[in-house]
Amino acid sequence: MILWMLDKIRVALTFSQENTPLSKAHVGFKFLSLILFFISITLVDNVYGIILISTYLVLVTLMSKNLRILYESSLAVIIPIALLGFFAWIFSPTGIFSYETLVYVLSLVVRIYLLAVSFLIIFSTTNPSQLACFLEKHGLPLVFSQSLILTWRLIPLVLKDVIESIMSIKLRRFPSTKALIPVTAVAIERANMVSEALYVKGLGFKEKRTIISSPGILSYGLVLTIHSLILLILVLILL
């Protein structure tokens, strides 16, 4: 099950280079909309509110023009969210079989699902170079923007290593937990090699780099931001 889950997370975090309104949307507004959505989701406390905010996920999916991304992202989060729901249910102070517990657990699970899946869809359809260029243009030091790109690049790589290492070790009848050793060793070596690669490619030798990516199409970004802003206002009214 761990291997299955790791593989699904790896797939969900893999960058998808599609030519869709979501991937073309202005990167700044895209993430602004995600922040507004996050605020809405933390404030919402009733069923109507949850139905309302779920329209954000519908919009994101429609703009991604790809139901498969929704499906893959859902698979990646299903086990952790199910576990969270289970523990929230059995440790509920209002009792296991009460109506309050049922509403509380369902509300928690749905909210986290909406947030996680929306985040994964936006994350996997955004080119981090685009975001890094946008942030650098607005004054973020390149050490931070580059860290962002590298994290984005290396997460699926590390997950792939974990899966390959577990399989290779299992064939020699060692327990899967032993995979932590080679994966850590490879990660440390990789970190060293990546820093060498960044060095030979001249990162940090000039304070100002050339901005190579445009931030994206403003109108698509505005659609997302306005939608999440309206949601936030409605949630505040409903409170």
Q: Does 206 bind other proteins (CB under 8 A)?
A: yes
* Helix orientation angle between 2-13 and 99-124, rounded to the nearest 10 degrees: 50
Per-residue x/- track, 89-108, other proteins (CB under 8 A): --------------------
20 binds other proteins (CB under 8 A): no
Closest to other proteins by CB, 47 vs 167, is: 167
Distance CA 111, CA 38 (A): 10
Give the pair of three-digit tokens for residue 217.
């199409």
Rg (CA), the chain: 21
Stretch that binds other proteins, among 25-33, 98-106, 209-217, 225-233 (CB under 8 A): 209-217
71 lies in the site for other proteins, by CB under 8 A = no
Longest dimension (CA), the chain: 63
Residues 179-198 that bind other proteins (CB under 8 A): 179, 181-183, 185-186, 189-190, 192-198
What is the smallest separation between the CB atom of 44 and other proteins, expressed in angstroms?
31
Q: How far is the CB of 58 from other proteins (least distance, A)?
A: 22
Where helices occur in 19-141 by DSSP H, the ranges are 21-24, 27-43, 47-64, 67-90, 99-124, 128-137
CB of residue 191 to other proteins, shortest distance in Å: 9
CB of 33 to other proteins, least distance (A): 22
| H or E segment and range at residue 174 | none
- From the CB of 122, what's the least distance to other proteins, in Å? 15
How distant is the alpha carbon of residue 67 from its chain centre? 17
State which of positions 132-161 bind other proteins (CB under 8 A).
146, 149-150, 152-153, 156-157, 161
Nearer to other proteins, 40 or 165 (CB): 165
Tokens, residue 198: 């960044």
Report CA-CA distances (Å) from 168 to 8, 11, 105, 120. Answer: 19, 20, 39, 29
